[in-house]
Each structure stands twice: as structure tokens, then as C-alpha cells.
Structure 1
């Protein structure tokens, strides 16, 4: 087990504050059967030894260990126990580390990592953080990729820019954001920061097909910032894909062959992909829609039932449907900055990672 370092008391008492500036540690949030105690210190580490920029993705292995992908080149993957102990830290090959999934194949588990292509700029001017087109911004884009590895980090293969197999033109950006793995091992990759297509591969990484983008005659097939994806296995005979179209404030449901099925409205929420637990799923919300734009530091968590209806929000107004239509949801601005990833354990506790939250480490929400 790696040490958090006992002489880092000052560091360990600090965490990102929500928009209202109040410390959420020890606060109980939620309502009804979905109430949680916030442990904002759960994942704190010594930033001099284990620095992070953003907590981008979680995955849990068969032993209950929690793997987190970050975009700091000194340690891309941190492995925690459920008690918040650091068990391992490895890899420096994912400067744009953005998503991580663990899948069992036969008797062995494997990691899939998605690198979105965003990197820390060596030419940063020291102040620009939101000028995405500037060559002097803190973070700048390059092409991303997908990697398959063993649990201890040995590389098996990578999937690169689709121009190399004739699917994209060279000028089309490829900056993938998430991956889902079907029961037969097929891979589904969202190009959410690139050209907004959803790409389908077999388990060997061979291209099968793709759909999405912005210019379909049927707008149901359009994807706008398709940030997250997961396989819905609740109907074991008919698994489907649930895909976020974040800037449309919705999730879209497709068959595994790419046929549009329906849309799940998330009015007011710029939402990421689902995280399933039993018949429910949880989804991270990066921003609320406020004053006609995605407002900074207004993230929250939405919880959906077996009918894909929002039944609770954590850190936001509670869902309300009028005549079947979801009313706008909005952050209460007293818990989160920008929720980017969620993990659910066997006891229904939540582990929450954030983007753009002052390099804060993940927190734990303890089910009450």
C-alpha cells in the first residue's frame, strides 16, 4: 500500500469549494431514499507526490478497487481502496486521460483507457485557461486514442485516428471521450471532443461502422458533444446504448447496430454518460443551463429509475414533471463544481470526481 504521507496535514484539509464558497464536507445531501453524507477528504493525497489536474473517470475491478484516470502526466492512474487508501499509481502515457473502463474477458480483467487528446501546453502564457483556440492556452488539443491494457498497465493495443483506416478525412479531429464494451466484446467510442461520431469496433479494435455527427436528415441521429456512453444491460435479451449528447441536454438510446430508439430529456443539465447499479443509473452533470448558457461551477448528479425517469438530483433542484415534461433542473451551487465521473460500490456509496475544480481529489458520498 502506498502512503498518503502523514506530514501533509495542511494539504489534506483542503478541497475545492462549490460556487457559494461553503465547505460541503460532512453535509448530507439528497432526499427520500437517496441521501448521502459527503466525505470530501476521502481521496486526498500529497499533490507533490501524486498531482492531478482533473478527476476524469472511474472504474472498479472485481476486488472492489477503484481505478481513477487523471490527465496529469506524472501519474495517469491512481488506484484506491474503498476506504480511500492509495494502493497504486502508474502510467505517464495518457496526457489527455479522460475515461477508464474495466472488463473481464475469460478469467482476466483488462483496462480500456480513452485519451481525449487535450494536453497541458508547454507554451502556456500563465493566465489563459478558457481561450481554447489560442496557442498559449493552458490546455491545447492534439489527436486522441484508445488503449487496452492489463490491470497492471501493460499495453496490449491502441486505436488511433480514424483517418488511418479510411473513416475520417485527415482534417477531421479525433478526440474521443468515452468507451463502452458490449457483452460480445465490441467497443463503442464517443468522439465527443472531435467530430461527434460514435465509432463501433470489434473486440480486436477492428472498425465496424459509425454514426452521429451533426448533419443527419433525421436529427435524432445528431450528436453534440457526445461526452459519455454505456451499455444498458437491464434487459438482458436486448441490450442498448445510452449516449450523452451533452449540448442538447439529453441522452439518446440506440440499438447496438446504431438504430435510434428514443431520447431521454435532461432539461437544464449538460449531462455525461450513465453509470448503472441494479435497475437505476447515475449520471454526472458538468454544468447547469443558466441564463442561456452552461454556467461555471453548477454541476450535480442525476439519478434515473428503470423507466429512464429522473427521480432524484444530488446538489440540484429536485426533478419535476408537468404533463410528462421534465422541468429545467439547476444546481443549488452548494456542493459541486463540475461533476465529471461517478462510481457506485456494492453498498451504494458514490465516488465522485470533478473537472476544473482546483485540482481537487475525488470525494465519497456515503449512503444513509
Structure 2
């Protein structure tokens, strides 16, 4: 098959990234498919099912779900219901796997002027915002239920947007949704999608509870006696730790990194970084992946500068500009290899990073 890689993106195939025990060889060709048959826009998130297949979520409604075999070949592609497809979680419930899908509400604009990509309030931007939703699906795509705007259950006012960004499921089945492009709350539901509690937002008397662009969330189960949530407050360049009832317990600063939520693997977790903070702004094409140890200390940056601590404080991190544009979704297989999708990656397919 002819190799496909966008001419406007440098091909990093074969590069070695990372530091210490976390060094990987980049395979930029692993997930390439025929874009005429199986197109992508943004490769927003990735999970692995019980068969070892890698499921990638894209906001191209010709095929929201692209399912790869482990060798990078196409198993199947399907789905057209999620124009703002942004996050996916796979959960085994009593022996059956389900997909939880987050649509953040941005849709391709049929009136796009062909130029504007960052004029979010323009009627002629490439994407325009509507309200988002969450859906629970069977593994083959049958709808179980949806969770809609919190206004409909009385916890949001009509002028408060709901544009969710991520989802995680606790060991007891409770669902936690981050409204990272809307009103910046974490909303807790039970396993049937019934509202329990919410917290966050940007205007708390105790600023520890503030969340600003709360992009990602995950359940930290590394210590079974002390499970809790890790939530990104991306615009604050940090991760915040909460108990399941929403009470605050700590913060992990990630200076220089507009960081997403955690992806756990053994004693470690990985967190994609969409942009580096350079010259007092989020710099274009400056993503990387941070690796945290069991003590929540950064031990490597894949495609980024080596982490340095001085007097116990992490110094500013940044992209090395040689691999990624904007890291977004990722997953880890049972051999420790990574699969990475990108936002604004020039419609490129996921990369595989093989542990060396």
C-alpha cells in the first residue's frame, strides 16, 4: 500500500524519543490508511478492547470509530453520529464491554470561508460550537443511553454552555464528566446516567476548586486502598487531585505544559500535552507526552525536554519540536507500547511508539 503522510507535516519515523527508562522508537506509519476510504480530521482519543484492538475516535463523521488490529491494519470503521467526537472510555461491565463517548459540541461549518480556523465566534470559522452530549454504546455501536445538557435537570442555567471534554468511570460504576469547553465543572452521575453531584467552575472562594479548561480526567487506581480522581486544569498548567465526592486533595504543577488527563499503566501514568507555553502563549505545533512515576513526579517527556527539578520544584517543560504537533489521545498496550493521536495533525493517522 502506498504510504500516506501529509506533506505539510515532517515525517518523524524512526526517531527515538524520551529519557531514562522511557525511550521509544517512533513509527509514524503504523496507522496509515487510505484517506479516501477511511478519513480522519482530528485523532481525538484511543482505547484498547479486550481483544487487543486499538479503537481510535475521530470527528470525521464518515467514520467516527476506526478500529485497528495490533499490526496497524484496519479491522473496521463505523459511526457518523458524533460530529464533535472528543473522548472515549471503554469499560467492562459484568463481562460485557461498553464505550462511553463524549461529543464536545463543535461541528464542521458548512459556511466555512476556507481560511478561518481560530475565529471561534465567527459564523465562517471551520468549526462552530453547539452544545455537547455523552453517549453510552455497546462495543458494536448500539446506543444504550445519552446524557444531555445539565440545564435539563436543573443544575445549569440556560446561559451556561455544556461542551464536555472527557469522561472516566469509577470502580463503583459512577461516571465523571469534565465540561472542559463549557462551564468547567466536573459532573458525577451514577452508572445509569442519573445526576449525583458536581463541583469546579472558575469562581470558587477556595481557588483550589477552580478548574480552567478542565480537559481530562482519570481514576487513579494504582493504590487500591486510596483510589481517587486526577483532573486536568489545562489553562492553569496543572493536574488536580480530588476524592470521589469532589473534595480537594492536592495539585501537580506542570509548568510549560497545557496538559490533558492521565492514562495509567502500572505504577506510572502518561499525560498528553497539546501545547507548550512559550513566549507567554500556547505555541503552535508544540505537543509532547509527560510520564509520571508512582509519586506523581515527571520522569520523562516524549518529544519534549528532559524534566528537571530544582529544590523539589519542576522547572518549565517544552516541546523539542521534532515529533508531534498537538498530542491529544493515547493508549498503552500490554507490552508498554504507546499509540498516540493528534489534534490538528494535518489529518495524520495515529503514531505507534515502541518501547526500547
Structure 2 length-normalised TM: 0.99
1:283 maps to which residue? 271
Q: Does 1:296 align with 2:284?
A: yes
2:238 maps to which residue? 250
**Match among 248, 271, 293 for residue 305 of structure 1:** 293
Q: Does 1:66 align with 2:61?
A: no
2:5 maps to which residue? 14
2:308 maps to which residue? 320
In the alignment, the residues of structure 2 paired with residue 133 and residue 187 of structure 1 have an alpha-carbon distance, to the nearest angstrom, of 31
Q: Does 1:88 align with 2:76?
A: yes
2:11 maps to which residue? 23
Deviation digits for residues 209-244 of structure 1 (CA, Å, limit 9, x no counterpart) = 100000000000000000000000011122100000
Deviation digits for residues 30-72 of structure 1 (CA, Å, limit 9, x no counterpart) = 1221111111011111111111110001111111111111001
In the alignment, the residues of structure 1 paired with residue 260 and residue 7 of structure 2 have an alpha-carbon distance, to the nearest angstrom, of 21
In the alignment, the residues of structure 1 paired with residue 64 and residue 329 of structure 2 have an alpha-carbon distance, to the nearest angstrom, of 15
Matches within 5 A, 1:82-161: 82-161=70-149
Deviation digits for residues 61-108 of structure 1 (CA, Å, limit 9, x no counterpart) = 111111111001111001011110110111100000000110000011
SS of structure 2 residue aligned to 1:164: helix
The alignment yields a C-alpha RMSD, in angstroms, of 0.9
Matches within 5 A, 1:172-211: 172-211=160-199
SS of structure 1 residue aligned to 2:208: helix
Q: Does 1:347 align with 2:335?
A: yes
Q: Does 1:57 align with 2:45?
A: yes
Contact 1:111–1:149 (Cα < 8 Å) also in 2: yes
In the alignment, the residues of structure 2 paired with residue 80 and residue 23 of structure 1 have an alpha-carbon distance, to the nearest angstrom, of 21
When residues 258 and 199 of structure 1 are mapped into structure 2, their CA distance, relative to the original with a 3 A threshold, is same
1:35 maps to which residue? 23
In the alignment, the residues of structure 2 paired with residue 14 and residue 270 of structure 1 have an alpha-carbon distance, to the nearest angstrom, of 26
Runs of 4+ off more than 6 Å: none
2:211 maps to which residue? 223
In the alignment, the residues of structure 2 paired with residue 264 and residue 66 of structure 1 have an alpha-carbon distance, to the nearest angstrom, of 29
Structure 1 length-normalised TM: 0.95
Deviation digits for residues 281-314 of structure 1 (CA, Å, limit 9, x no counterpart) = 0000000000001100000000000000000001
Return the offset for 1:13.
Answer: 3.5
Return the offset for 1:15.
Answer: 4.2
Contact 2:257–2:275 (Cα < 8 Å) also in 1: yes
Return the offset for 1:131.
Answer: 0.4
SS of structure 2 residue aligned to 1:297: coil
Matches within 5 A, 1:251-266: 251-266=239-254
How many pairs are equivalent? 356
In the alignment, the residues of structure 1 paired with residue 120 and residue 30 of structure 2 have an alpha-carbon distance, to the nearest angstrom, of 32
Contact 2:4–2:33 (Cα < 8 Å) also in 1: no
